[in-house]
Amino acid sequence: MKTIATGLLGLLVLSGAAQADVFVSRDAKGGYVLSNVHRPGRHYEKVIREPAAAVVSLDQQPQMIAAQPYAELVSAAATANELPAALLHAVIKTESAYNPSALSPKGAGGLMQLMPETAREMGVTNVYDPKANIQGGARYLKRLMTMFDNDIRLAVAAYNAGPQAVLSRGNVVPPFAETQRYVPSVLNQYRRLQGLSADAPL
C-alpha cells in the first residue's frame, strides 16, 4: 500500500497538476490518502510543500510565449532552426530587452545583438530589422547548439563570449564576469518560459 501511495504522490508532483501543498494521511483502514486540503483533527504522515515560486503549468506555457514581443517572428525562426522559441526569447530578453534599436559599446546591434561579422556570416544586411535579426540570431544559435552537442549552457556562453572562448577552456563557461552573469540570466528566463523550476536540469 505504501508503494502505491508513493507512486501516486510521485505522479501528482511530476504532473504539476496541483500547484499546492500535498498532505498525506492514513484512513481508518490504514490506507494512504492524498489531499491538497488540511483537515483539522487529522494526523498527517507527510506534507509536500509547494515551492515559494510556483512553476508555470504546462497549459500556461504556450500562452506565456505567445504573449512575448515579436512572438510570431520568434516562432518562425525557432521552427526554421529547430530551436525552442523560449530559448530565443530568453536570449533576446537578456541581450536587448526587446529593443530592436539596441547597440552595444562593442558594436553588436538589434534584438539579438549581432556583431557585424556574425551578421555577415548569417546573411543579415540590416541588424535593426527585427525579422532579419531574429532569423540571423537563430541561425547562429543553432550553429552553436550543434557545435556544443545541444548543451544549452555552453551554447549560450558561446553566444556571449564567442565559441573559441568556450572551446579553448575545455568546454566550460568562461570566467568572464559578463558571461558569468549572462548565462544564468538567459537560462533563468528560458526555464521560466518553459514552465520549469529555477533549478530544473536542462
C-beta of residue 146 within 8 angstroms of C-beta of residue 82: no
User: Is 201 part of any domain?
Assistant: no
Position 31 scores a pLDDT of: 67
Average pLDDT, the chain: 83
Residue 131 covered by a domain:
yes
* Cβ atoms of residues 195 and 56 within 8 Å: yes
Residue 54 resides in a domain: no
Our answer to whether residue 50 is catalytic in this structure is: no
Residue 114 lies inside a defined structural domain of this protein = yes
**Residue at 153 is within a domain:** yes
C-alpha cell at 47: 506534507
Give per-residue pLDDT as tens, 56-114: 455 566 788 999 999 999 999 999 999 999 999 999 999 999 999 999 999 999 999 99
Look at residue 142 and tell me if it is in a domain: yes
* Spatial CA neighbour of 196 closest among 166, 152, 159: 152
pLDDT in tens, 130-139: 999 999 999 9
Number of domains in the chain: 2
| pLDDT higher than 60, residue 23 | no
Please choose, from the candidates 185, 25, 107, 114, the residue with its C-alpha nearest in 3D space to the C-alpha of residue 198. 185
* pLDDT above 60 for 9: no
Instruction: Please tell me whether residues 43 and 141 are part of one structural domain.
Output: no
Cell numbers standing for residue 186: 538567459
202 domain residue, yes or no: no
Domain of 165, CATH number, reads 1.10.530.10
Tell me how far apart the terminal alpha carbons of the chain are, to the nearest angstrom: 34
CA dist 19 to 53, 104, 175, Å? 10, 41, 37
What local confidence, expressed as pLDDT, does residue 64 receive?
A: 87
55 belongs to a structural domain: no
Its domain, for residue 26, covers: 2-48
pTM over 0.85: no
Compute how many other C-beta atoms are within 10 angstroms of the C-beta atom of residue 44. 15
Catalytic residue among 50, 72, 95, 121: 95
For the stretch 56-70, pLDDT in tens is 455 566 788 999 999
C-alpha cell of residue 169: 577552456
